[in-house]
Structure 1
Amino acid sequence: MLLAACAIFFINFTASGYANEFYSAAAQAGSVSWKAFLWVSLDSGNAITVDKPPAAIWLMALSVRIFGLNSFAILLPEALMGVATTYLLYATVRRYWGNWAGIVTGFIFMLTPVVALMFRFNNPDALPVLLMTGATHALLRSLEYANHPSGNRKRTWWMVLAGALVGFGFLTKQLQVLLVLPGFALAFLLASPTDMVRRILDSLAAILP
């Protein structure tokens, strides 16, 4: 499954060239100026910033710092995130519904046309999908622990991780990543194996990051 994911996301993935040149320019600027990197400036002189939060462009800028300015460096983070999301989705489904369910889910995901496009282009959509998938995994893991002190601590830390991933997603696509929060809140408040007070406290802990 992962070999198929690598084939889908990597084979001829530089065919788009610099893809969205607006974000590629910001990645190039961030690769030569840490100030431009921090503020995702469109140019290394920091005359103007781009119209998106910084997280997705940070990854591209770091890749360009390592590999130089080229199509491979610009699009490498996107393809890697595609493979990582496929695996994380597989691992999440496999944990609760078995290996074949996870494999089928992974293939359905990677063979969805918009997914193949999203993870082979440098618009800032790949990272939020990876982060929301990770947050979903963390939320489901938090529901596994029984209501005792050790289980409560582990549950809280998984909820904190879920909140941190959603928060980092806000640095990628702002309010778009918050679309999952109502579902997260409902699932946790209904299914958490503890009393309502503890459920609310864990939910508040997830908000803190």
Structure 2
Amino acid sequence: MVGINGISFSMVKVIRKDWLWLTFPIILGLLLRLPRLGEFDNNYYTATVKSMTLSWSNFIFGSFDPSGLLMVDKPPAAFWLQSVPGLLLGVEDWSVALPQFIMGMVAIPFIYFTVRGTFGRIAGIVSASVLAVLPASVIIDTRNEPDALVAFCLLLAAACIVKAVQTSQWKWLIFFSVLIALGFNSKMFVAFVPLPIFMT
């Protein structure tokens, strides 16, 4: 049966059912992360974000000091993201942790749909539930360090590899390469750790 704009009512029903299944892990992830938002603050990285909001030069190069003489010890990609809420909401413990929180919450339904497409709905909901309560995930999603962006990029990169295998389309490998590069520009060679698995 075809509905509005060629979208079948059965398809809409499936989508609604998916989100119904996702309600539990999303709420669980939210309850575990929201109270901890900004609970741990790396002052070194917070100072970097504050410096990056002062000038375009500091922003581009990830300068630790306001004068732009010293760079932070990590590539600037994660701190670029943190600078956005820093500019809009002020540089606070919770505001610099906000991008990591958002990525962590988005990752829960994303891993569900990625796994469900290959292994089914039960496997998808188990994956989403595990990610929602995984202590390491809860920690990195609520603090102002670059690990959350690396993890999110690698999750998206894994999905691109799956799509590349399923569709035999080169564009997914290009997306994969861009995501690995973004991960590298967050925490350098940490983003390369799963590459041997991706390549097999």
Normalised TM-score (structure 2): 0.84
- Preserved CA contact (<8 Å) 2:112 2:127: yes
Question: Once the 2 structures are TM-superposed, how far is the Cα of residue 61 of structure 1 from its aligned partner?
Answer: 0.9
* Counterpart residue number, 1:136: 158
After superposition, the C-alpha distances for 1:17-61 in whole angstroms (9 at most, x for unaligned) are: xx0010001111111211111111112210211100111111111
Is 1:68 equivalent to 2:90 in the alignment? yes
Give the alignment's Cα RMSD to 1 decimal.
1.3
User: Following superposition of structure 1 onto structure 2, how do residues 1-209 of structure 1 map, counting pairs within 5 Å?
Assistant: 1-16=25-40, 19-145=41-167, 152=168, 155-186=169-200
Question: Once the 2 structures are TM-superposed, how far is the Cα of residue 6 of structure 1 from its aligned partner?
Answer: 2.0
Question: Once the 2 structures are TM-superposed, how far is the Cα of residue 69 of structure 1 from its aligned partner?
Answer: 1.6
Runs of 5+ unmatched residues, structure 1: 146-151, 187-209
What is the DSSP-based 3-state SS (H/G/I as helix, E as strand, rest coil) of the residue aligned with 2:195? helix
Runs of 5+ unmatched residues, structure 2: 1-24
Larger RCO (CA within 8 A; separation ≥ 6): 2
Question: Once the 2 structures are TM-superposed, how far is the Cα of residue 12 of structure 1 from its aligned partner?
Answer: 4.1
What is the DSSP-based 3-state SS (H/G/I as helix, E as strand, rest coil) of the residue aligned with 2:38? helix
- Preserved CA contact (<8 Å) 1:56 1:172: yes
Question: Once the 2 structures are TM-superposed, how far is the Cα of residue 11 of structure 1 from its aligned partner?
Answer: 2.4
Normalised TM-score (structure 1): 0.80
- Preserved CA contact (<8 Å) 2:28 2:133: no
**Which of structure 1's runs of 4+ aligned residues deviate more than 4 A?**
none
Question: Once the 2 structures are TM-superposed, how far is the Cα of residue 62 of structure 1 from its aligned partner?
Answer: 1.3
Question: Once the 2 structures are TM-superposed, how far is the Cα of residue 73 of structure 1 from its aligned partner?
Answer: 1.1
